[in-house]
A = this chain, B = another copy of it.
Amino acid sequence: MSEPKLLRVLAGETAERPPVWFMRQAGRSLPEYLELRARAKDFMDLCFNPEMAAEVTLQPMRRFPMDAAIVFADILVIPHALGQTVWFEPGEGPRLGDLPPIGALQDAIEGSTARLSAIGETLARVRAELEPDRALIGFAGAPWTVATYMLEGRGSQREAARTYAYEHPEALDALLDVLVESTARYLVMQAKAGAQALQLFESWAESLAEDVFERIVVGPHRRIVEQVRAAGVDVPFIGFPRGCGALVENYAAAVPVQAVGLDTQASAASGRRIQAGGKAIQGALDNLLLRAGGPALDARVDALLEQWSGGPYIFNLGHGVIPDTPIEHIARVVERVTGKPANRMAAA
């Protein structure tokens, strides 16, 4: 049995062709997902139903020759596990109830992993069904990104959260500490349940000043990796500090992840410097171009392969798949990277 290509690249190998998977490859754009989604009570119910979540995780694997599956879950399962109410307002996105007092959050850490056992069960189910040469990725939202939701109750208040970082640094640090601890435990559980790689999604690393970025992104990421390692778990990490611009090189130098996720505006040179520094890189096709398609899409895929395939590289998007992305565009890109056609009968 050959080792999954993704894991070889995460171990520092330069593959004959890069492994490929797409952020948000499960859900959203697939008709078989939408059908299943309609049967779930709500989005969080779907995340906590191992049978359905495993099915959603596997759907894109049947359809496309992706090299890795990523467990279907949400970054907001952590606040849920810490006792803050989370629900999804149809057409608007996530909403969170009042932030519990810090003491209550600290007390909730101990029991939080047990409240997330359903995601472990999803991972075990997927690992049992997935071919051995395809990797299974677990993930968590990174502390700062999750904190912005917890503080503001929704996802669109990033300036308010950045202001909070300046005006209430001690309170923010205490909240980040809770998130580091609970996230590390959650990721250890995921690895034990079958995740072979772990991605930290810092969706909102954008617009942070360098000193703030070091304090609220780099520090917490490093501590999570260290705590997972201290628990005896050595699965590789992919850190994705989306939108952090030139600071991605600070991140790569300071956080002991095995791969750094690059976003849409990554520079070729910056990515190569990270590879030269001993880390794999992952990214960075524009999800708007994937949706738009056409000759520009083919040309850009070729350019990305050309610029980064000389070192350890995982082909991915710079952000998640957009819901109305044509499936044929996904199939076309994955075939261009892997040489393998999509399975047109997958949904039948």
Instruction: Please measure, in the bound complex, the distance between the C-alpha atom of A159 and the C-alpha atom of B290, giving whole angstroms.
Output: 13
Task: Name which of A95-103, A179-187, A240-248, A339-347 contacts chain B.
Answer: A240-248
What residues of B have a CB within 8 angstroms of the CB of A213 in the complex?
265
Task: Name which of A66-74, A113-121, A160-168 contacts chain B.
Answer: A160-168
- How many copies are assembled? 2
**Contact in complex: A246, B270 (CB < 8 Å):** yes
**Given the known A-B contacts A163-B291, A166-B289, A288-B159, are A246 and B264 also in contact in the complex, defined by CB atoms under 8 Å?**
no
In terms of DSSP, what is the predominant structure of the interface of chain A? helix
**Contact in complex: B209, A264 (CB < 8 Å):** yes
What residues of B have a CB within 8 angstroms of the CB of A269 in the complex?
246, 249-250
**Contact in complex: B247, A267 (CB < 8 Å):** yes
- Interfacial residues of chain A within 296-318, with CB under 8 A of chain B in the complex: 296, 300, 303, 318
Instruction: Please measure, in the bound complex, the distance between the C-alpha atom of A168 and the C-alpha atom of B99, giving whole angstroms.
Output: 46
Please tell me if A104 contacts chain B, counting CB pairs below 8 Å.
no
Please tell me if A89 contacts chain B, counting CB pairs below 8 Å.
no
Instruction: Please measure, in the bound complex, the distance between the C-alpha atom of A162 and the C-alpha atom of B211, giving whole angstroms.
Output: 31
Instruction: Please measure, in the bound complex, the distance between the C-alpha atom of A244 and the C-alpha atom of B264, giving whole angstroms.
Output: 10
Instruction: Please measure, in the bound complex, the distance between the C-alpha atom of A300 and the C-alpha atom of B256, giving whole angstroms.
Output: 27
Please tell me if A169 contacts chain B, counting CB pairs below 8 Å.
yes
Instruction: Please measure, in the bound complex, the distance between the C-alpha atom of A206 and the C-alpha atom of B263, giving whole angstroms.
Output: 11
What residues of B have a CB within 8 angstroms of the CB of A243 in the complex?
206-207, 245
Q: Which residues of A contact B (CB under 8 A)?
A: 159, 162-163, 166-167, 169, 206-213, 243-250, 263-270, 284-286, 288-289, 291-292, 294, 296, 300, 303, 318
